[in-house]
Amino acid sequence: MPKQISPYYSKTGEVYHIYGVCASGSAIKRGRKVSGKSNKKLCKACIDIRAGKRPR
């Protein structure tokens, strides 16, 4: 199972991520990536990763 990391999100996105391997999380451009959760929801792909449904 992928290792969970500190929450991060995109300035332009509506969700936050907890896995570095998340496809949409890793697609965030440098400079738009921010640490924390803000008031965002957890990314659906990250939920699936945590549930073991997908490797990344």
Contact set with Zn ion (CB under 5 A)? 17, 22, 25, 43, 45-46
Residue 3: how many other CB atoms lie within 10 Å: 8
- Beta bridge mates, 11: none
Nearer to Zn ion, 10 or 46 (CB): 46
Give the CB-nearest residue to Zn ion.
Answer: 43
Nearer to Zn ion, 31 or 49 (CB): 49
**Residue listed under structure tokens 């896995």:** 19
Cα separation of 31 and 12, whole Å?
A: 11
Instruction: Provide the minimum distance between the beta carbon of 31 and Zn ion in the complex, in angstroms, as a whole number.
Output: 18
